Amino acid sequence: MIRSTLSLALLLLLASRSSFALQVLEAKDGETMLAKISRKEISRISVEHGRIRKVTGNAGEFVLEKDDETGQVFVRPSNIESSKPLNLFVTAEQDTFALLLQPVDTPSETILIRPAAHKRDLATSPVAAGHIRRLKNLLLVMANDARPEEMEISGSNTLKTLWPGTRLVLNRTWRTQEVTGERYTLTNLSSSNLPLEERRFFKAGVMAVSIEHALLMPGASTSLFVIRESGRDD
């Protein structure tokens, strides 16, 4: 895995066009599941039709509370000011799940792990699984500011038009034949707080969106990632 230098809230439900407190993770053998957790509040993790027996990760990086009665766990980063992602292994009765959890400025999150036996038909489709995997890989590349040789990469710091009272700058672009990833800096130039939602950035051709901060104070900036279909860059 690429060494993580994440400082952004990249993780979202990739198949969704809106942001929800409940994140359902479809488990697949050998794959790390991506999710976001609250940086300052506890987030709940549970396994569908199962009980969590053990959670393993780097000592000192997270605070863990277990509910032995329900089989759920509650987790929070030890350093509430850090955006470093947490690598956890969650063990249930018959399975162990690998999680990469990105702390973000959001209220408590609820993460439901759905083992393979309970996956929906769409999620088990090889085509759908490959599509989600490509998006996840690109998100990790962008998060680490990596420079894969097979990608066309450019950085121009180009000013883009968004909404009155904001400044949007395109910092870097990662491009393949199928998908294009863009990293922006969005600044609130107004005198009022600016609430942000991923769904406001979806349009034709956009496949995934992630925002570092859900609320921008006057003068504050946030990082924004957009993944779109190549050839749909308008």
Each residue's pLDDT, cut to its tens digit, for the chain (234 residues) gives: 333 333 333 444 333 333 335 888 988 766 888 999 998 999 999 998 889 999 999 889 999 999 888 899 999 999 988 888 899 999 988 788 999 999 988 888 899 998 875 444 444 455 555 667 777 778 777 777 788 888 899 888 899 989 999 999 999 999 888 889 999 999 999 999 999 888 788 888 888 888 878 889 999 998 888 988 887 655
Say what the pLDDT of residue 10 is. 44
Q: How many domains does the chain have?
A: 2
Last residue of a domain, one of 143, 165, 182: 143
Is 11 contained in some domain? no
Is 37 contained in some domain? yes
C-alpha–C-alpha distance, residues 167 and 15, integer Å: 28
> Pick from 152, 135, 127: which is nearest to 229 by CA?
135
Task: Judge whether 65 and 100 are in contact, CB under 8 Å.
Answer: no
Say what the pLDDT of residue 146 is. 80
Say what the pLDDT of residue 21 is. 59
Q: Tell whether 105 and 197 lie within a shared domain.
A: no
C-alpha–C-alpha distance, residues 172 and 184, integer Å: 7
Is 178 contained in some domain? yes
Is 134 contained in some domain? yes
C-alpha–C-alpha distance, residues 128 and 120, integer Å: 11
- Parallel, antiparallel, or unpaired: how do β-strands 96-104 and 32-38 relate? parallel
Q: Tell whether 30 and 84 lie within a shared domain.
A: yes
Say what the pLDDT of residue 81 is. 86
Instruction: Output the CA–CA distances (angstroms, integers) from residue 184 to 11, 116, 163, 170, in the order listed.
Output: 16, 35, 14, 4
Say what the pLDDT of residue 69 is. 85
Radius of gyration (C-alpha) of the chain in whole angstroms: 18
Under 8 Å CB-to-CB from 68, ≥6 apart: which residues? none
Q: Read off the CATH number of the domain in which 180 is found.
A: 2.60.40.1630
Q: Tell whether 83 and 52 lie within a shared domain.
A: yes
Query: Domain range holding 107?
Result: 22-143
Residue 165 φ/ψ region, left for φ over 0, alpha for ψ in the -120 to 50 degree band, beta for the rest? left
Say what the pLDDT of residue 178 is. 83
Is 203 contained in some domain? yes
Q: Tell whether 27 and 139 lie within a shared domain.
A: yes
Q: Where are the alpha helices (DSSP H) in the chain?
A: 121-124, 126-143
Is 16 contained in some domain? no
Q: Tell whether 112 and 46 lie within a shared domain.
A: yes
C-alpha–C-alpha distance, residues 148 and 153, integer Å: 9
Q: Tell whether 56 and 136 lie within a shared domain.
A: yes
Say what the pLDDT of residue 119 is. 44
Q: Tell whether 55 and 134 lie within a shared domain.
A: yes
Last residue of a domain, one of 143, 170, 191: 143
Residue 128: strand, helix, or coil: helix
Is 14 contained in some domain? no
Q: Tell whether 132 and 46 lie within a shared domain.
A: yes
Q: Read off the CATH number of the domain in which 49 is found.
A: 2.60.40
Q: Tell whether 126 and 217 lie within a shared domain.
A: no
Say what the pLDDT of residue 27 is. 87
Say what the pLDDT of residue 233 is. 59
Task: Judge whether 112 and 46 are in contact, CB under 8 Å.
Answer: yes
Last residue of a domain, one of 143, 172, 193: 143
Q: Tell whether 48 and 118 lie within a shared domain.
A: yes
- DSSP string over 45-87: EEETTS---EEEE-TTSEEEEEETTTTEEEEEESSTT--PPEE
C-alpha–C-alpha distance, residues 176 and 38, integer Å: 32
